[in-house]
């Protein structure tokens, strides 16, 4: 593993928050290979270096990977001053996990949670463009021409969205549903794309992230990713 900021290693190992770990370092209670480190920035390799806090050895945090089918009303953030329920609390593990990317509070569907920031950074980087599939219920009848517009890309504030795959699953005057696959992860991208073509979203659910699917995972349920799934995400 590469060198990382010392406070990040300590926080990932469950010592305290990153901010408080910075204080511990400045207080001179942290040693790397027996030498006191009391200046920032400070770097270390969690796997190779012997790191202690108050003389107690810190071990590199075990990497954990979960797939959650997020219910409505749950947010993808590690702090919420409004006290809303957070995805990390639904999973409730001792490791300091976070969501890879985001689903809106009103969106349901699958999201990966992990403490592996290297993998998370790669997966959310626009360059890697992992396809994400959503099923959207919209009000009214969707026209084929509207689906074509979504496929070609939509101008949003950030620029034109990339090509999307769009499949109409159901059409009626009352409501329609489509499956849309995009490779970017702009904020509220699907909702904004649909608003731009005049469609009102009734519900939005993410059903697939690359090869990962919601299959067998009820809303509000989570599971650990298998070794093969982790290997796949690392390779993406
Ligand atoms: N697009 C949205 O609009 N919302 C989400 O939660 C995910 C993608």
Which atom of ligand 1 lies closest to the CA of 132? 8
One fold for both 4-58 and 132-209?
no
Structure tokens given for 53: 């806090």
Which residue's alpha carbon is nearest to atom 7 within ligand 1?
103
pLDDT over threshold 90, residue 199? yes
Q: Which CATH number fits domain 4-58: 2.40.10.10, 2.40.160.50, 3.10.290.10, 3.40.50.300?
A: 3.10.290.10
**Distance between CA 103 and CA 216 in Å, rounded?**
20
Q: 77-83: long-range contacts at Cβ-Cβ below 8 A with a sequence spacing of 24 or more?
A: none
Pick from 107, 156, 161, 214 the residue to mutate for probing ligand 1's pocket: most ligand atoms within 8 Å of its CB. Answer: 107
Q: Where do the domains of the chain lie? A: 4-58, 65-126+212-235, 132-209
Mean pLDDT on 187-195: 97
Determine which one of 38, 45, 104, 116 is catalytic: 104
Mean pLDDT on 178-184: 96
Q: What is the topology classification, in CATH, of domain 65-126+212-235?
A: Alpha-Beta Plaits (3.30.70)
> 28: CA distance to ligand 1 center in Å?
44
> Pocket around ligand 1: residues whose beta carbon is below 6 Å from it?
103-104, 107, 188-191, 204
Mean pLDDT on 23-43: 97
Q: pLDDT confidence of 236, banded at 50, 70, 90?
A: confident
Which atom of ligand 1 lies closest to the CA of 109? 6
Residues 42-91 pLDDT 10s: 999 988 999 999 999 998 878 999 999 999 999 999 889 999 999 999 99
Q: Which CATH number fits domain 132-209: 3.30.70.940, 3.30.70.1560, 3.40.640.10, 3.30.750.24?
A: 3.30.70.1560
Which residue's alpha carbon is nearest to atom 6 within ligand 1?
103
Instruction: Work out the number of other CB atoms within 10 angstroms of the CB of residue 211.
Output: 12
Residues 121-161 pLDDT 10s: 889 887 778 999 999 999 999 999 999 999 999 999 999 99
Pick from 75, 76, 186, 191 the residue to mutate for probing ligand 1's pocket: most ligand atoms within 8 Å of its CB. Answer: 191
State the pLDDT at residue 76.
Answer: 97
pTM: 0.84
Which atom of ligand 1 lies closest to the CA of 192? 3
**By C-alpha distance, which of 185, 168, 177, 79 is closest to 131?**
185
pLDDT over threshold 70, residue 187? yes
Q: pLDDT confidence of 182, banded at 50, 70, 90?
A: very high
> 206: CA distance to ligand 1 center in Å?
8
Based on the residue annotation, tell me whether 104 is a catalytic residue of this protein. yes
Mean pLDDT on 108-130: 89
CA of 75: how far to CAs of 11, 35, 107, in Å?
Answer: 22, 41, 9
**Distance between CA 134 and CA 111 in Å, rounded?**
12
């Amino acid at each position: 593993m590469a060198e990382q900021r010392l406070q990040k290693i300590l926080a990932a190992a469950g010592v305290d928050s990153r901010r408080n770990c910075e204080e511990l370092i400045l207080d001179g209670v942290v040693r790397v290979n027996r030498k006191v480190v009391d200046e920032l920035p400070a770097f270390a390799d969690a796997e190779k270096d012997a790191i202690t806090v108050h003389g107690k050895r810190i071990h590199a945090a075990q990497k954990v990977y979960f797939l959650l089918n997020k219910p409505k009303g749950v947010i993808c953030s590690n702090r919420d001053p409004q006290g809303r329920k957070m995805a990390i609390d639904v999973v409730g593990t001792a490791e300091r996990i976070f969501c890879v990317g985001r689903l809106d509070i009103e969106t349901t569907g699958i999201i990966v949670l992990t403490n592996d920031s290297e993998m998370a950074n790669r997966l959310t980087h626009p360059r890697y463009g992992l396809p994400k599939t959503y099923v959207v219920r919209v009000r009214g009848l969707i026209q084929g021409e509207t689906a074509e517009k979504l496929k070609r890309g939509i101008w949003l504030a950030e620029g034109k969205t990339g090509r999307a795959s769009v499949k109409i699953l159901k059409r009626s005057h009352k409501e329609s549903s489509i499956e849309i696959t995009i490779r970017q992860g702009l904020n509220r991208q699907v909702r904004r794309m649909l608003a731009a073509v005049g469609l009102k979203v009734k519900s939005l659910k993410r059903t697939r992230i690359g090869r990962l699917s919601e299959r067998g995972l009820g809303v509000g349920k989570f599971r650990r990713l298998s070794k093969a799934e982790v290997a796949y995400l690392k390779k993406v």
